[in-house]
Amino acid sequence: MEITRFQKLIRDTYIHHDSRRGLDNTVEWFLSEVYEFIKALNGEGDIEEEAADVAAWLVSIMNLLNIDLDNAVRKRYGEGCPKCISIPCRCDYRETPDKKVRIEIRNQ
Ligand SMILES: [Zn+2]
């Protein structure tokens, strides 16, 4: 499913709940689904299902902000890597992000 179609589907399905909940609580839901996704990577849950939930909650946040995610993705990654503007990326390999977030994935 294309991003635009997915975003419209989530808007049509949940915008009444998302609007009532507001941005802060919707972001909190998004983070809880990221946590569920990480648990699924560790063998506690369905990875595909949790990935779909993370995508849906991200799109809900974009709906509340009236941001077209398809357009944002195209602007950011349409030419490949946004830093070196290449496909594949030619940037130096980096093992970890600059901002530290410690996550352990047991099932690799
Ligand atoms: Zn790059």
Condensed to tens digits (0 to 9), the pLDDT of residues 65-79 reads 999 999 999 999 999
What is the 97 CA–ligand 1 centroid distance (Å)? 14
What CATH code is carried by the domain that includes residue 45? Answer: 1.10.287.1080
Rounded CA separation 17/26 (Å):
10
Q: How many A from CA of 14 to the centre of ligand 1?
A: 36
- Of the candidates 53, 63, 60, which has an alpha carbon nearest to the alpha carbon of residue 32? 53
The neighbour count for residue 57, using CB atoms within 10 Å, is: 22
pLDDT confidence bin for 24, thresholds 50/70/90: very high
> How many folded domains does the chain comprise?
1
Residue 23 has a pLDDT of 97
Given this model, what pLDDT does residue 68 score? 98
CA of 89 from ligand 1 middle (Å) equals: 4
Ligand 1 geometric centre to CA of 15 (Å): 36
CA of 85 to the centre of ligand 1 (A): 6
Between the CA of 83 and the centroid of ligand 1 the distance, in Å, is 5
Other residues' Cβ atoms within 10 Å of the Cβ of residue 88 = 8
Whose structure tokens read 């779909």? Answer: 52
pLDDT in tens, 45-68: 999 999 999 999 999 999 999 999
Range of the domain at 105: 1-108
